[in-house]
Amino acid sequence: MKSDIEIAQEAKLLPIKQIAEGIGLTEDDIEPYGKYKAKISLDVYRRMQAQNKPDGKLILVTAISPTPAGEGKSTTTVGLGQALGRKLQGTGKTSMIALREPSLGPSFGMKGGAAGGGYSQVVPMEDINLHFTGDFHAITAAHNLLAALIDNHIHQGNPQRFDVRRIAWNRVLDVNDRALRQVVVGLGGVANGIPRESGFDITVASEVMAVLCLAADEADLKNRLRKIIVGYNVDKAPITVADLGAEGSMTVLLKDAIKPNLVQTLEHTPALVHGGPFANIAHGCNSVIATKMALKLADYVVTEAGFGADLGAEKFFHIKCRQAGLNPSAVVVVATVRALKMHGGVEKTDLATPNFEAVTRGLDNLSKHVENVQMFNMPVVVAVNKFPTDTPEEMAVISNWCAQYGIPVALSEVFTDGGAGGLELAEKVLDVVENRPGGLMFLYNLEDSIETKIDTIVREIYGGAGVQYAPKALTTLKKLQEMGLTHLPVCMAKTQYSFSDNPNLRGRPEGFTITIRELRISAGAGFVVAVTGEIMTMPGLPKQPAALSIDLLEDGKITGLF
C-alpha cells in the first residue's frame, strides 16, 4: 500500500469554494488561504444562530487505552465522516468532520502527521501538518508577547511587585527542542533585564491554545485571556493578564486564529480543522467554535478527543461539552486487536503474532471504557479498526463480546478503503443516533470540591481505590480555595496507556491509588490541571530526526514527511 503522503499527493482536491458551497456557504462567507484551505468568519456562525438554524447531531470518536503507535482515532474519525457522506448521498443530509490541527514541531521529530491516514485523511495534508493557516504561529506570538511584557514589567520598575521565583508563564515554540526546557534568561547586565530561571514549552501546551479552543467568540476569548494567571507577587497574590493589560494585544494577534479552518477529506467531505490543545495538561479536542459551527453547517458532525476514553472522552464531556452546552448523540470507541493483545499481556514486539487468548484477556480494557461512556448516559458503538495482521478469530473475540452485551459493533477498514470501508460503522452510528438518543449526564457537579471531582474521576472512570496528594498539590488546593476557584472542572494529566498513573498497568487494573503530584491553575482556560506523573511539555528530537530526511523536490513535492 502507498504511504500516507503518496496517497495525499495523488488526491484530486476540489477548490475550497466548491466544498464551501456544498455546506451552503457562498464565496463571500469564506476567506481562502490558497486554493484548498479557507477560514470561516465567526459572523457566519452568528448569522446562522440569528436565523435559528438547527444544530446537527454530534458524534464523538474515542478509543480504548492505546498502544504507543495509536489506535487510529483520527483515521476512524475521517473515515466515518466519509462513510456518512456516502450513506447520506441523495438524502439531502450532510456530514462533516471537526478535528484538531496538528503541531508542526513533532513532524520533524519522529511522529507522523495528525491528519488521519491511508485513504481516510484530511487534505492538503502537507499544509495541514506544516504552517496550515498560521493559527499556531499566532498563538506562539500572543503567548510570547505576554512573556516579553512580563519581563519588561519587572525590568521597567515592577508596579505589580512580581516575585521572580513565582512567574507561572513560560515561553513557547512549535519545535521539539529539549535544550529550551530549562533556561536562564535576562543575562548580560542591566540592559538585558532581570536574570531568572524560566523555560519553553511546545506551543500546543500554551494556555493560550486551551483558551482559544474553549472560547465562544472574540469577546469570550479576550475575557478568558484576562483571567490567565501569569505569576504571583511578593505577597503570593496572583497576577493576571488583566493586571498587565495585555489582553487587547493578545486578542488582536489571535483575531484570525479564532476562525475555524475549512478543508476537505480525500473524498471531499468538508472538515473543520481547528485548534490543538495538549491532551494531558489541557483538554485535547478541537475548538468549541469549530464544533458549534460544524453543527450549524451539517446534519452529522464527527469529532475526536485525544488519548483513550478515560482521558479524552471524560474531558470532552466534563470540560468542553459542559462549557459549550454540547449534547453528543453517540460515542464511537475505537478498539484494535493489537491493543487488546497488549492489554492481555503481550509484549510490544509480539503484537503481530496471532494470540486469541491475549485478545480475550484484553477485553477487560474495552469493557471498562464502554462502561465509562455509558456512565455519561451516552450510547456506544465499538469500531474495530482493522490491521493487516489481525486474524478473523481475533476479530471475532471483539464482535462476540459486543453481541453478548448488546453493544453495536462494526469492522472499520477506512484506512485501506476510505469511506467504503466504514459503511457498516456509519450504519450502526446512524441507527444509534436516530433511535437511542442519550442526553449527556455528568459524573460530578461544578459545585463539588476539587478533591471530590478528582476522587469521582479516579474511582468511577479509572476504577481506582483512592487519591493521594503530594504536599505541593495540597498547597495549591488551599490556594484554590483562597482564590475562589474551586468551581472549576478538573483536567487530568495522566498517562494514556493505563487507567492508573503507571503506564505499565495494562488491561483493567484495580486497587491502585492515583497520586496528584501538583495542581496547575489554568484560570483562563477555566480548569485545574491535576498532574499525576511526569508531564513532558517540550519534546526532544530523536537520534535520527525526521528533519534530516525531509526535502523539497525539484517538482515542488515534499518527501520524507510522514
CB of 278 to a copy of itself, least distance (A): 19
CA–chain centroid gap for 310, Å, is 13
Side chain identity at residue 202, one-letter code? I
Q: How far is CA 355 from CA 23, 278, 358, in A?
A: 46, 34, 5
- The response to whether 67 counts as a known ligand-binding position is yes
Containing H/E element for 466? strand 466-469
By the 8 A CB rule, do 50 and 42 touch?
Answer: no
CB of 186 to a copy of itself, least distance (A): 4
Calpha distance 93→81 (Å, rounded): 13
CB nearer to a copy of itself: pick between 263 and 450: 263
Q: How far is CA 61 from CA 128, 277, 287, 329, 505, in A?
A: 20, 17, 15, 11, 24
CB nearer to a copy of itself: pick between 256 and 431: 256
CB of 236 to a copy of itself, least distance (A): 23
- The response to whether 73 counts as a known ligand-binding position is yes
- The response to whether 3 counts as a known ligand-binding position is no
CB nearer to a copy of itself: pick between 49 and 445: 49
Concatenated DSSP letters of 263-322: EEETT--EEEE-----SSSS--B--HHHHHHHHHH-SEEEEEBSS-TTTHHHHIIIIIIH
By the 8 A CB rule, do 34 and 45 touch?
Answer: no
CB nearer to a copy of itself: pick between 185 and 440: 185
CB nearer to a copy of itself: pick between 180 and 211: 180
Could you give the 3-state DSSP secondary structure of residue 42?
helix
The C-alpha cell that represents 356 in the structure block: 486469541
Q: Is the peptide bond before 106 cis (omega within 30 degrees of 0)?
A: no
- The response to whether 69 counts as a known ligand-binding position is yes
Q: How far is CA 73 from CA 229, 331, 368, 370, in A?
A: 34, 12, 18, 16
By the 8 A CB rule, do 406 and 429 touch?
Answer: no
CB of 144 to a copy of itself, least distance (A): 5
Side chain identity at residue 439, one-letter code? G
CB nearer to a copy of itself: pick between 441 and 552: 552
- The response to whether 74 counts as a known ligand-binding position is yes
CB nearer to a copy of itself: pick between 50 and 191: 191
CB nearer to a copy of itself: pick between 199 and 503: 199
CB nearer to a copy of itself: pick between 179 and 352: 179
The C-alpha cell that represents 127 in the structure block: 499544509
By the 8 A CB rule, do 442 and 460 touch?
Answer: no
By the 8 A CB rule, do 287 and 42 touch?
Answer: no
Report CA Rg, the chain: 23
Q: How far is CA 397 from CA 360, 391, 394, 401, 412, in A?
A: 6, 10, 5, 6, 15
CB of 321 to a copy of itself, least distance (A): 28
CB of 107 to a copy of itself, least distance (A): 9
CB atoms under 10 Å from CB of 11, counted, come to 19
- The response to whether 68 counts as a known ligand-binding position is yes
CB nearer to a copy of itself: pick between 477 and 558: 558
Which residue in 275, 309, 290 sits closest to 525, CA to CA? 275
Q: Binding site, residues?
A: 67-74
Known binding positions for ATP? 67-74
